[in-house]
Amino acid sequence: MGNRRTAKVAEAIREIVSSTILFELRDPRVKNVTVLSVEVPTDLRTAKVFVSVMGDQAEQRLSMNGLNGARGFIQSKVADRVNLRFTPILSFELDDGVKKSVEASRILRELAEERAMLKAESGSETDGADALDDGEPGPHESLESIATDSDGMTTHGDPPESVADRIDDG
């Protein structure tokens, strides 16, 4: 029962902190902040708020400083909206998991593009060589496998057997 309650409290805190940052916080340092999750221990005395900040390290540091500066204001909003004996003390942690997943996606996309380019380059060379039939033996043909039929056309390999020939031999 305690786990379910802490999960509900954590979700409520996440929603309150997120809406407070989005709609009520007027600090210009806090930009591009997304509240990802909140961890609350069973005693409900503290709450660790995990946030993602899009931007370079300087922008992330600036936003984190702004969040820590506004911690009292955000905590008062949590106290107003969550009915608990004690208001959890908030701490903000930068979670760069989203940034890492975006970077991994970018790398995978680049690898796929490189692979497609290499395949297209190698495919165009072999397709052109396969399409060219000059009557000369290819790398997997011998001179004996190339024959000329009665029309003077070059054929490769043995002429196909007729169905009657296969039945008579059988």
DSSP 113-124: HHHHHHHHHHHH
Does one domain contain both 79 and 109?
no
CA distance 119 to 113: 10
Q: How many domains does the chain contain in total?
A: 2
Query: Mean of the pLDDT values across residues 100-110?
Result: 89
Does one domain contain both 49 and 90?
yes
Cα angle value 4/36/47 (rounded, 5°): 55
Does one domain contain both 85 and 9?
yes
Q: What is the pLDDT of residue 99?
A: 75
CA distance 66 to 106: 29
Q: State yes or no: pLDDT of 141 exceeds 80.
A: no
Q: State yes or no: pLDDT of 150 exceeds 70.
A: no
pLDDT (tens digit, 9 = 90+) per residue, 75-100? 999 999 999 999 999 999 999 787 78
- Residue ending a domain, among 74, 95, 116, is 95
First-to-last alpha carbon distance for the chain, in angstroms, is: 80
CA distance 73 to 87: 12
* Cα–Cα nearest to 75, from 63, 85, 88, 62: 88
pLDDT (tens digit, 9 = 90+) per residue, 10-52? 999 999 999 999 999 999 999 999 999 999 999 999 999 999 9
CB-CB contact of 92 with 35 (8 Å): no
